[in-house]
Structure 1
Amino acid sequence: MLRSGRIEEYKEFSQFKSIKEFNTSMEMFLAEHKKEFTKSELVGLKRLVRYSAKYFGVANAKVATILKSINEKLQGFGISRRTFERMLNKAVALGILTIKNTVKSKGGKGHNVYIFNKIDALKKEKLTHCKNSETPTASKDKQSKSDTETINLFKTNNIININKRKEQRLDASFTASYVPNEFVQAVKPFFNCAKTIEDFWKSVHIDTFKVKGLIDKQTITYTAIDAFKQAIRSYKIGKVKTTPVRYFTGIFKKQMDKVCFEELVVYKGI
């Protein structure tokens, strides 16, 4: 574990030879992945990039310091900590950013060290992964099994009821395509049932129908995931007295109210 310290102590983590090389790498990354970030998240990402200029691609500023800087630059219309952390999670998932935790000399968690990765290194890693990948062969067996089960259904006298029970047993891999994969993966460990996952998302669709042209899909998806995690936590400790879907719907509505207030801001850039 790294010790908390000054930025000079982390310059060895820099993967770039110059600020120009760092900027070029970021431009290449944004050209491919900019659409995956909301406007608010891009504000946070660009500000973190600026804090990484001294030692190319390395920063150790506290989140509170970065948020304060953004707020001052935008004259009070800054972004929330949750938005900034959501940006970090996306950047890490896409491979452009590595985050190392530090500890204070007297104990306790210190600041984070943010390390930007080279975009060309990411592409090489992706190519290597694709080259070594094998094509799955189990799909035909599953298809054959599925066809057999369907044929057997029609041999019964109660086709409708059996089909309904079968629908309830379909796992998360059968979830309808209109449900974002990120949401499916978040719900799957707790409810590995296609119909249940679709029921959760139907409440999201209904509550965001009027704002879909104003709030981007990624924001809606990650807000739904956050609301689901809160609902599960309450469910696990016995606070939920209604169905999980209904409880989730109530939390999601409150979350979206906050998001609409945060996201519907016209940013002038930084």
Structure 2
Amino acid sequence: MNYLTQYQSFANKYELNEAIASHLNDHRHQLNDTDLNVLTMLSRYAVKYPGVAHLKVGTIAKALHKSDRTVRRSVEKLERLHIVKRQAFSREKTGGQGANLYIFLPYKQPDLTETKVEQVAKTEQSHQPIHTYVEEPIIPITLYTRFKDLIKSYSGDNNEILASKLYGIYRVHTTRLMKFDVHADKGELLKTIAIQAIRVLFQATKRKNIRNLIGYYDGIFRELTDKALFAEAFMDYDAPVEVKIP
């Protein structure tokens, strides 16, 4: 039995993907590009033993072209947001301090009732009304329409809510990736991957029951993107486990 088995926090990679997608949905605006890149790299190494990655800070820093200090700051933020936790690890043979284990935490639904009570209390104290303005996202009609049409062709329903959420997953990942010069010309490739991920998703639903379509799609999109963009980038580092889409 591998030593990481006792630390894994999920039964399988699909539960891990669901948790990561939910964490991102809640905290995406609190994470900068470096935070997201650290999270992405940790998640790639947390597949074989779902939920736990064993990496040196230096390995992460070298792969992302960042300093050790910058990586540690991102990890600390992920801990504060209860996305991951660090676990000190010592080598049994030498007794020396090894690389930390990074354990992904299950997603917990926020207590909305408590949040509303706190908001009311703050409003009463300040005597100032709280105004919330929600800016509607600008969605490119062509690609979004393809999302809706493809979903309808598989499910038979005009499920705009599902289409919007899947498109949101696509936007989160591509917006981050396209900020890097090395991926600046990959827009069309990422659109193709997004469409292919929908096909893979609905093909999978024919073979088994999928509880969280959004989390499953997120996992498929990330895996296809890894194969298309990152296969060569990580060859010089500790090799992550190759994940096969079911």
TM-score by length of 1: 0.41
Using CA pairs below 8 Å that are at least 6 residues apart, which structure has the higher relative contact order? 2
Larger radius of gyration: 1
TM-score by length of 2: 0.44
